Amino acid sequence: MADPERNADEILAWARRAAEKDASVALFPELSVTGYTCEDLFQSEALLAGARRALGRLAEESAPLPLALVVGAPWRTPDGRLYDVAFVLHRGKVRGAVPKSHLPNYGEFYERRWFVPGGHLDARVADDVLGEFRLSPRQLFEMGRLVLGIEVCEDLWAPVPPSSAHALAGANLLLNLSASNQGVAKSEYRRDLVRQQSARLLAGYAYVSCGPSESTKDIVFGGDALVAENGVLLAEGPRFEAAGWMTFSDVDVERLLHERARNMTFGTSPVPREGYTVERLGAPPRLADLGRSFAKTPFVPDDPATVDERAREILSIQSAGLATRLASAGAATAVVGVSGGLDSTLALLVAVEAAKRLGRPASTVLAVSMPGFGTTERTRGSAGALAGKLGATFREIPIREAVEKHFRDIGHDPKRQDLVYENAQARERTQVLFDLANGEKGIVVGTGDLSELALGWCTYNADHMAGYAVNVSVPKTLVHHLVSWYARHLADAGVREVLERVLATPISPELLPPTAEGIQSTEGAIGPFVLHDFFLFHHLRNGSGPRKVLALAERAFAGDYSREEVRKWLRVFLERFYRNQFKRTCLPPGPKVGTVSLSPRGDLRMPDEADPAALLRELDER
């Protein structure tokens, strides 16, 4: 406290460490040049002069560093008013100064004893030591596509934080220099404030507070350090570390710009251009490597407790949607085609839960098994056993003879096991289901999942069609977790045993007869669903292009798949995703459960003729 020169030494040391990590910005706490708890010493001529000299030294000695430093210091204007200010230093100069707009003067805080609110301040400063710069909260700092907006501590806690205007004016990374003391549950509240503001503004938000080296006379500071991006906490530092620490994270600016482009609530909000200026700091340092990791399964949370919570919510959404559809349609029966595989298993579970919501017995769900040329005894047995254990009505209707007659009618040689051979079975099954639904006063419950729709891995006007498609926005990697969760939390011992058998069954459409090499493999034909779900999330949800998706996937799946394997399956994904939009254009209704949906009435409006050629060229250029 009250030692600007010593603080300048510490700031420079940490800034150099940040530069070694290719940081674009190094953010320090509120009044970090002097210390926050100087109290009446802020009115000392010696302290103010020392802070001014330290700022000049910081600017000069940080000049070789490519990053911007954002530090806090008191600043007195010629009229004698004292402000709590954030200074932006870059390449040897003070590039701008942002005064604190909202000063807390309640509880343990008495800032108006020393400082004046700076929300309406706008002045040009010409200083012998620091040079010329603007002193105003209405300024942004641009580094390539990174646009910085700054607020100070209490500003975030205000009813209308300055960062809201900064974001609407163009800032995509908000910085907060803070001095917020510790108290029971206060860190959790701060964390929520930072996360929610980043979500509301579709922005990155970096927050750092002063630590335990401040005065502990009446309060203690822990040094919260947080980085959030669009509602997700990316990094959080330790607290109460006397030696100091650095919390570091990458922020995906491209993703944030994509979010803003697609969010018309943000896009149509007023732009507060009046009074705002942009100080251009030049291009940010190039990252030699990423400092953050990316989950292999972005649709499935890493935390088991969160997975359980999400599973319960998703099943509730699915079953509530189906229950409402059954009731509104006056349907007495939910008709589900069951194969003994994961997708139809989840659909059957949802149908039974929907019946419960309507106060109906499980027997009002009609589960139909339709064994064909490739059906195995394992899946055939699982389908019947699961329906029986759940109490659903079960019927088995073999389709071999009907399909063989159809082959004769159209002149198709059944020895030619081509697309006609496979799709004829799928269409026969769909015909059976819809005709049964007509006879039972029911609706057909679709079983296909989000991953299959993205890849077009469904037969047009066959399993592609339903009265209500409950799995339509559930990706394959999440289907497995939902069935597993049901087995652990809602199933009795008999149902659990069957579900565990289904979970251990390889993914197969079972449209071709088994051979000596084994059964028909879905992933052998189109690639691993864990990769395709990763591609889908980053390409569709985050707007990432092929090169970026490839780079992220290489990093996420290092040790699991080679670069060439990832590239191969990404090419398959892009080709199939764009070539099969015509199937998604006429999807049946179904509930959206997450942030990604392919519904033509909701999240994805895309021409059927979209050509992936340009994307494939970009992929090949890397």
- Please give the positions annotated as active site: 30, 100, 153
Alpha-carbon Rg of the chain, whole angstroms? 30
Contact indicator for 290, 254 with CB cutoff of 8 Å: no
Residues 148/153/154/157 CA torsion (nearest 10 deg): 70
Q: How far lies 500's CA from each of 413, 473, 480, in Å?
A: 39, 23, 10
Beta-strand (E) ranges in 254-348? 277-280, 333-337
> What would the two tokens of residue 103 be?
């000063």
Distance in angstroms (rounded) separating the CA atoms of residues 98 and 140: 10
Distance in angstroms (rounded) separating the CA atoms of residues 345 and 358: 20
Contact indicator for 55, 73 with CB cutoff of 8 Å: yes
Q: What own/partner pairs with CB < 8 Å and gap ≥ 24 does 446-449 have?
A: 446/347, 446/470, 446/471, 446/472, 446/588, 446/590, 447/336, 447/337, 447/339, 447/343, 447/344, 447/346, 447/347, 447/471, 448/343, 448/472, 449/343, 449/474, 449/475, 449/476, 449/479
* Strand 131-135 relative to strand 123-127, pairing: antiparallel
Q: How many CB atoms lie within 10 A of CB 292?
A: 14
Distance in angstroms (rounded) separating the CA atoms of residues 563 and 565: 5
Sign of the alpha-carbon dihedral angle for 172, 177, 180, 185: positive
**3-state SS assignment for residue 382:** helix
91: region left, alpha or beta (phi > 0 left; psi from -120 to 50 alpha):
left
Q: Which DSSP symbol is given to 397?
A: -
Contact indicator for 449, 482 with CB cutoff of 8 Å: no
Q: How deeply is 401 buried, as exposed, middle or buried, from its count of CB atoms within 10 A (0-12, 13-18, 19+)? A: exposed
**3-state SS assignment for residue 585:** helix
Sign of the alpha-carbon dihedral angle for 354, 358, 361, 367: negative
Contact indicator for 222, 211 with CB cutoff of 8 Å: yes
Nearest to 215 by CA among 43, 84, 9, 39: 39
